[in-house]
Amino acid sequence: MERIPQIAAAVVGVPAALVAYIVLVERALTLVPERRRPVWRPWLWILPALLFVFGYLIVPSLITIWLSLFDARSVRFVGLDNYLQLATTEAAQNAIRNNVLWVVFFTGAAITFGLIFAILADRVRYESAAKSLVFLPMAISFVAASVIWKFIFDFQPAGFEQTGLLNAVVTGLTPFGPIAWLTNAPWNTVFLIVIGVWVWTGFAMVVLSAALKGVPAELLEAARVDGANELQVFRRIMFPLLTPTIAVIGTTLAIFALKAFDIIYVTTSGNFDTEVLAFVMYDELFTARNTGRSSAIAVVLLLVVIPILLINIRRMRFERAVR
């Protein structure tokens, strides 16, 4: 009940502030020569967004870069020492290796399964129900999904009752003993990637399904009439037309893979060589209290993400120019 006035102020205040800003902008434009108004109007309209980007993205990024050049307490200037330590410590090397595994296998598997489900769902009468079931994990938080899969991967030594679903199946249906799914590196990282794939496959499926709807049916029918089988139709027609969409999804998934944290934190807490850069950054800041090194890791993640975004922007501009 105490928050009701705050919620009401936000619900009423934000639209009111927006309307007031629009009115002020349009009145201010009356003071500008008419021939200059088309130039000033777009910049004034996006000015609040630019201020938010500057205040909440650019300024924190510059501060983080500055802090990465200092020691753990942000007192003594150490230059690039934090970056050199990042390149030589075993934990950071394991994190980089695991991040590469996340980017490659998580992105590839989510796109592959999303594409398979999109194609299959497009061919059944209960398409909406099928898509809803596949998309359902996206409605669960990554923490909740990690808790669910932690129970599935749970391990008890041989001779004890298995509380984990996978080990219950393994010990009940096969002659093998229970398997410690989350403690044996590097396979434990692969099993953690399975959690991410389970959650994100629905996202890839929905986007790819929408792209499939945009493929001209006449083009597909013409290919089939000319004797092309379904595999040839997919390889020669569907996949090339879906490439721009796949690139966008791949960019989104790759960025998520680079900043993966909650799945690792909930399931293994970074133990058993499952740490990734985002977890090492968290550990350095809140456990080791090393602001400089954690800031250096944040800068490295930023530098890795920027080329991915630039490549995606260039590709989008190229496609727009071709159209």
Domain boundaries, the chain: 89-322
Residue 183 and residue 157: Cα distance in Å, rounded? 13
6 pLDDT tier (thresholds 50, 70, 90): confident
Neighbours of 252 (CB within 10 A): 18
- Residue 38 pLDDT greater than 80, yes or no: yes
Ordered alpha helix ranges (H), 174-276: 187-213, 217-225, 230-233, 239-258, 262-267
Q: Can you give the pTM of this predicted structure?
A: 0.85
pLDDT attached to residue 14: 78
Reported CATH class of domain 89-322 = mainly alpha
pLDDT digits (tens, 9 = 90+) for 15-27: 888 888 888 888 8
- Residue 162 pLDDT greater than 80, yes or no: yes
pLDDT attached to residue 85: 86
Contacts of 171 (CB under 8 A, 6+ apart): 162, 177, 178
pLDDT digits (tens, 9 = 90+) for 141-156: 889 999 999 999 998 8
- Residue 60 pLDDT greater than 90, yes or no: yes
pLDDT digits (tens, 9 = 90+) for 75-98: 999 989 999 888 888 888 899 999
- Residue 313 pLDDT greater than 90, yes or no: no
